[in-house]
Structure 1
């Protein structure tokens, strides 16, 4: 059974919150972020105003998948992660 967009947003937010709190993560989490965001962006029920945030998080996840120093990548995006979580809270 596929997840609805509300649950997808919750998972997205949970992964970002873990990255924010722990300042570390895994390539698998970055891959999951990418899959979630692709699904959300394709969903017509998603508010247009959150799609830019999703695009920014997608870029972050793609960079994270291919960096040699994922923890440094996450740490260098702490301010953005905080803002993304806040933005997602407004639309979920």
Structure 2
């Protein structure tokens, strides 16, 4: 694929970059090298390779849910600045 100055200017505009003429010329050369390298990778025969999401095997690391006893309500409300009817009392925030 041939990278043109217009392509570089378009990408620079999308990235909101202000490039000098020297930078544009350097980027044309760099992008052509990158694309030619990717084209070389496309020449590889991958028909015998199974597609994978990850290179290493991944397993679920979550633990099983366990039902445990909760703290008693009186202990939970012990440090509440204000409480009412067994609940935390907070200032009204909605008119």
TM-score for the superposition, normalised by structure 1:
0.27
The structure whose Rg is larger is 2
Higher helix share: 1
Between 1 and 2, higher relative CO (CA 8 Å, sep ≥ 6) is seen in: 1
